[in-house]
Amino acid sequence: MTVTTPALDVVDLGDPATFADHDLDAFWRTLRDTYPVYWNPPVDGRRGFWVLSRYDDIMAAYRDDVHFTSERGNVLVTLLGGGDAGAGRMLAVTDGHRHHELRKILQRVLSPRVLSEVAAAVRINTRQLIREAVEAGGCDFAEQIASRIPMTTISNLLGVPEQDRDHLLAQTKAALSTDAEDVDEVDSEMARNEILMYFMDMVEERRESPGDDVISMLVASSIDGVPLSDEDIVLNCYSLIIGGDETSRLTMIDGVHTLAAQPEQWRRLKHGEVAIDTAVDEVLRWASPTMHFGRSVVGETELHGVQLRPGEIVTLWHASGNRDERVFDRPGTFDLGRTPNKHLAFGYGPHFCIGSYLAKVEIAELLMALRDFTTGFETTGEALRIRSNFLTGFSSLPVRWRPDHSGMKEVD
């Protein structure tokens, strides 16, 4: 695939093809230096929107719940579509008191203290998958490993039966991160509806026969004395399955893709010269799988001399903020020992990703399994990039493994 650097006036950040077909590093640098508040104009009947590219401006917007709201949508696909049906009910697009109370409910099952057993299961599953792949010699890492670790974890938490997981994975990919050019917004909308209908059936089952999973916990929960409705529960299950799969899966794939091309960084990881937690944060910063989150202006404000007016859309671009030279030393260098590393991969402020701990556990276990069971690896074919204006990464990554025979003999 030929990747080009586009001129400023031909970039449309609302078009998924923009990210698949162009190298945007120079574009983001120009925005950060010259147009920190940039207007992406309307295209083909689609609304225009503001673009924030500097780290500090993104952080300030995340902290500001006076001038900005999440309740009209938090990604371009819903913001440009006129709003999010989950507003005021799904955690990601709920603000204020209800957001606080809903977050407390979900933290009961997603806090580090509660997830210790889940983390142990992630370790066992990850090491088994990597060991089997290394013994086989090669595999499509994206399809055979990265697609199975996060989906297994979040499905176990939600109580999704094993036989349904491939179907749900296919729907989550179609909903936000397809690799097929012929999948349009109608197909994506159908996939999102399919996920919602699936969880509606599960909620009905749990009301009749509760278990020890997250859905059963949500069924038994209330806010201000009012039980969560079926719609409340379904929308938050949708958010958990999408968030629990996409960020970790795409970061893992990007991490292996990058390490295969960076032998010196792999050597540092392999020989224990960098802490695993430090390496995880750099893999997340580098991948920045969630390219943006969005807000709607509810109170007129000014930024860099630009007036932002109520009703306008403002997008906060992690893809740029995580490469901001004002914050990160040598931001274009992949450095597993980077510290400090206050990246934006999980957002910031009240809406900081509630599943961040679990995602870090999954990525850490992957890096440790690669370190222990291989002496290295290489890609053996083209990595197929997804088409999305929200997420970035690869849907296919053929890899050949070089086994570490001493590590493979160890008993976990």
Top mean pLDDT of 153-162, 165-174, 182-191 is at: 153-162
What is the per-residue pLDDT for 180? 54
List all residues 6 or more positions away from 99 whose beta carbon is below 8 Å from its beta carbon.
91, 350, 351
Phi, psi values for residue 64, rounded to 5°? -95, 100
Question: Distance between CA 47 and CA 67 in Å, rounded?
Answer: 20
Percent of the residues in the chain that have a pLDDT greater than 70, as a whole number: 95
Confidence of residue 126 (pLDDT cuts 50, 70, 90): very high
Domain range list for the chain: 8-409
pLDDT at 122 over 80: yes
Q: At what angle do helices 116-136 and 149-158 cross, to 10 degrees?
A: 150
Q: What is the pLDDT of residue 189?
A: 84
pLDDT at 62: 97
Answer yes or no: is pLDDT of 179 > 80.
no
CA proximity to 396, closest of 406, 412, 385, 411: 385
Q: How far is CA 160 from the centre of its chain?
A: 20
Torsion of CA 351, 238, 257, 269, to 10 degrees: 60
**With contact defined as beta carbons under 8 Å apart, do 254 and 319 qualify?**
no
Higher per-residue pLDDT: 157 or 178? 157
Partners of residue 10 on adjacent β-strands = none
pLDDT at 1 over 50: no
pLDDT for res 3: 45
Task: Using pLDDT thresholds of 50, 70 and 90, give the confidence band for residue 112.
Answer: confident
What pLDDT does residue 372 have? 97
Q: State the pLDDT confidence band at 4, using cuts at 50, 70 and 90.
A: very low
Is a pLDDT exceeding 60 seen at residue 178?
Answer: no
The average confidence (pLDDT) of the chain is 93
Tell whether the model's pLDDT for residue 23 goes beyond 80.
yes
Average pLDDT over residues 375-382: 97
Fold of 8-409: Cytochrome p450 (1.10.630)
pLDDT above 90: percentage of residues in the chain: 82
pLDDT at 38 over 80: yes
C-alpha distance across the termini of the chain, in Å = 41
Is the predicted pLDDT of residue 365 greater than 80, yes or no?
yes
* pTM check: above 0.85: yes
> Residue 346's pLDDT band (boundaries 50, 70, 90)?
very high
pLDDT band at 408 (very low <50, low <70, confident <90, very high): confident
Tell me the pLDDT tens digit for each residue of 279-301.
999 999 999 999 999 999 999 99
Least confident of 153-157, 307-311, 314-318: 153-157
* Residue 23 vs residue 324, higher pLDDT: 324
Tell me the C-alpha distance between 327 and 369, whole Å.
31
Three-class SS of the chain? CCCECCCHHHCCCCCHHHHHHECCHHHHHHHHHHCCEEEECCECCECCEEEECCHHHHHHHHHCCCCEECECECCHHHHCCCCCCCCCCCHHHCCHHHHHHHHHHHHHHHCCCCCHHHHHHHHHHHHHHHHHHHHHCEEEHHHHHHCCHHHHHHHHHHCCCHHHHHHHHHHHHHHHCCCCCCCCHHHHHHHHHHHHHHHHHHHHHHHHCCCCCHHHHHHCCEECCEECCHHHHHHHHHHHHHHHHHHHHHHHHHHHHHHHHCHHHHHHHHCCCCCHHHHHHHHHHHHCCECEEEEEECCCEEECCEEECCCCEEEEEHHHHCCCCCCCCCCCCCCCCCCCCCCCCCCCHHHCCCCHHHHHHHHHHHHHHHHHHEEEEEECCCCEECCCCCECCEEECEEEEEECHHHHHCCC
Confidence of residue 177 (pLDDT cuts 50, 70, 90): low
Per-residue pLDDT tens digits for 209-247? 999 999 999 999 999 999 999 999 999 999 998 888 889
Q: Who has greater pLDDT, 397 or 186?
A: 397
pLDDT of residue 2: 42
Taking only the tens place, the pLDDT of each residue in 203-218 is 999 999 999 999 999 9
- Spatial separation of the C-alpha atoms in residues 138 and 150, rounded to whole Å: 21
d(CA 256, CA 397): 9
Q: Which pLDDT score is estimated for 290?
A: 97
| Poorest-pLDDT segment among 5-9, 253-257, 297-301 | 5-9
Q: Please give the single-letter amino acid code of residue 337.
A: G
> What does the angle CA 12 – CA 13 – CA 15 come to, to the nearest 5 degrees?
75
Give the pLDDT of residue 240.
93
pLDDT band per the 50, 70, 90 thresholds, residue 411: low
